[in-house]
Amino acid sequence: MLYAVKMDVAIPRDLDPEVRADIVAREKAYSHELQRAGEWVHIWRIAGQYSNLSIFDVADNERLHEVLWNLPLFPFMTMEVTPLAQHPSDVAAS
């Protein structure tokens, strides 16, 4: 199942810099693992914001929930999840 997920990150400014660096490094490693596995299909930065728009291709809602809740930055994120379906006018689908 495909999902578009908009992630807005708001790390507290007073968070210890070493803790912040560790969380960000773990987030990057985890996202790379999911990208290599084919579950995190695309990630785009939203210009001018600490946000991204990502496309996930996972088995079901439960798997997406698991993936998102395991993001090291999850406690500092607000997310908007949109399930996606093939559009009948998509020429790539023909």
What are the sequence ranges of the domains in the chain? 2-85
Contacts of 63 (CB under 8 A, 6+ apart): 39
40 has which bridge partners? 56
Q: What is the pLDDT along the chain (94 residues), one digit of tens a residue?
A: 999 999 999 999 999 999 999 999 999 999 999 999 999 999 999 999 999 999 999 999 999 999 999 999 999 999 999 999 999 998 987 7
Written as six digits, the tokens of 80 are 């908007």
Contacts of 48 (CB under 8 A, 6+ apart): none
**CATH H-level, domain 2-85: superfamily:** Dimeric alpha+beta barrel (3.30.70.1060)
What is the C-alpha separation between 81 and 94, in angstroms, rounded?
Answer: 27
Report the predicted TM-score, pTM, of the whole model to 2 decimal places: 0.92
